[in-house]
Structure 1
Amino acid sequence: MIDYRINRVEGFSDKIGELVSMLVHTREVTLGEIKNLRQDELDYLIDEGSNSIGALLLHIASIEFVHQVISFEERDIHENEFKKWKEALELGPQARNMIRNNSLTYYLEELAQVRQQTLSKLKACNDEWLFKEKHWENGIPYNNYYLWFHVLEDEINHRGQIRVIKRVLSKNKKISE
């Protein structure tokens, strides 16, 4: 059952716990949206320029992974890490061709593996870490709180796309019946 409150989470500092509460809620809603999807539904493309639900799910995992590296390790991703996540990060034509034929279990495992690492790393952080200010190469400041806000907004945004794809799938299913 989804909890519709932002709470502190035991084992985390106050603000980190609130962030974890938001991460957990966001993921629970996403998982509810994709529950029981078949492989053909995960691979469905609305048109030649769209992304599949499967690609969007891997994109969500890839964005979280990249933000782990930036915030916890204070570096950019290495070449091998980029190779693993390239299509999911960039989406587009290559993702449409390469992110296909995977089961829902595959996507759930990828999401869970990345999230487990996030929660493990966040346990070692304190509230001050959230506000630690850094600068992008162009001099623009950011903090870790912003990075993790972006992880949340990215997942929520792509969940909206997943809902649109599901509506089109549902409509097309009714037409073909």
Structure 2
Amino acid sequence: MIDYRITSKEGYAEKIGELVSMLEHTRAVTLEEIKGLSERELDFLPDDRSNTIGSLLLHIASIEYVHQVISFEKRDITEAELKKWQAALELGQTGRNTIRKHGLEFYLEELSQVRENTLANLKNYQDQWLFEEKQWGNGIPHNNYYLWYHVMEDEINHRGQIRVIKRMLAEK
């Protein structure tokens, strides 16, 4: 059952526990939205410029992975990591060509493995970590709180796309 309360999750600093609550709620709604989808539905391509539900799910996992590397390890992804995640990060034609022919379990496992790492790492930080400021290469400041807000924002955005694709599937 989905919890519709934002609470501070046990085992985490207070604000980080609230962030975990929001991350977990966001994911629970996404998982409910994709429950029972077939490989055909996951691979459905609405048009030649769109993404499939499967590619959007792998994109959600890839964005979370990259944000783990940036915020927990304080580095950019390596060439090997980029090779694994590039199609999912970029989507577009590369994603359309390569992210397909996987059952729902494949995507659920990718999402789960990445999330488990996120939750384990967040236990190691205190609330002030959320507010640590850094700068992108172009000089624009950001903090860890923003990075993890963006992970949720991205998932919610792509969940909206998934809902649209599901409506298109229902009309076929």
With the shorter chain as reference, the TM-score category is over 0.9
- In structure 1, what is the equivalent of residue 33 of structure 2? 33
The secondary structure found in structure 1 opposite 2:12 is coil
Structure 2: tracts of 5 or more residues without a match = none
Structure 1: tracts of 5 or more residues without a match = 173-177
Q: How does 1:44-55 map to 2 (within 5 A)?
A: 44-55=44-55
Matched, 1:59 2:59: yes
> d(CA) in 1 for partners of 2:26 and 2:141?
26
Instruction: Detail structure 1 runs of 4+ shifted over 4 Å in the superposition.
Output: none
% identity of equivalent residues: 69
**Pairwise CA distance, 1:138:** 1.0
Q: How does 1:66-77 map to 2 (within 5 A)?
A: 66-77=66-77
- In structure 2, what is the equivalent of residue 19 of structure 1? 19
- In structure 2, what is the equivalent of residue 112 of structure 1? 112
> d(CA) in 2 for partners of 1:170 and 1:138?
44
> d(CA) in 2 for partners of 1:118 and 1:42?
25
Q: Which amino acid aligns with 1:142?
A: H
Q: Which amino acid aligns with 1:7?
A: T
The secondary structure found in structure 2 opposite 1:153 is helix
Aligned length: 172
The alignment's TM-score, normalised by the length of structure 1, stands at 0.97
Q: Which amino acid aligns with 1:17?
A: G
The alignment's TM-score, normalised by the length of structure 2, stands at 1.00
> d(CA) in 1 for partners of 2:82 and 2:125?
25
Matched, 1:128 2:128: yes
- In structure 2, what is the equivalent of residue 175 of structure 1? none
> d(CA) in 2 for partners of 1:21 and 1:83?
31
> d(CA) in 1 for partners of 2:135 and 2:97?
36
> d(CA) in 2 for partners of 1:100 and 1:117?
25
> d(CA) in 2 for partners of 1:13 and 1:46?
43
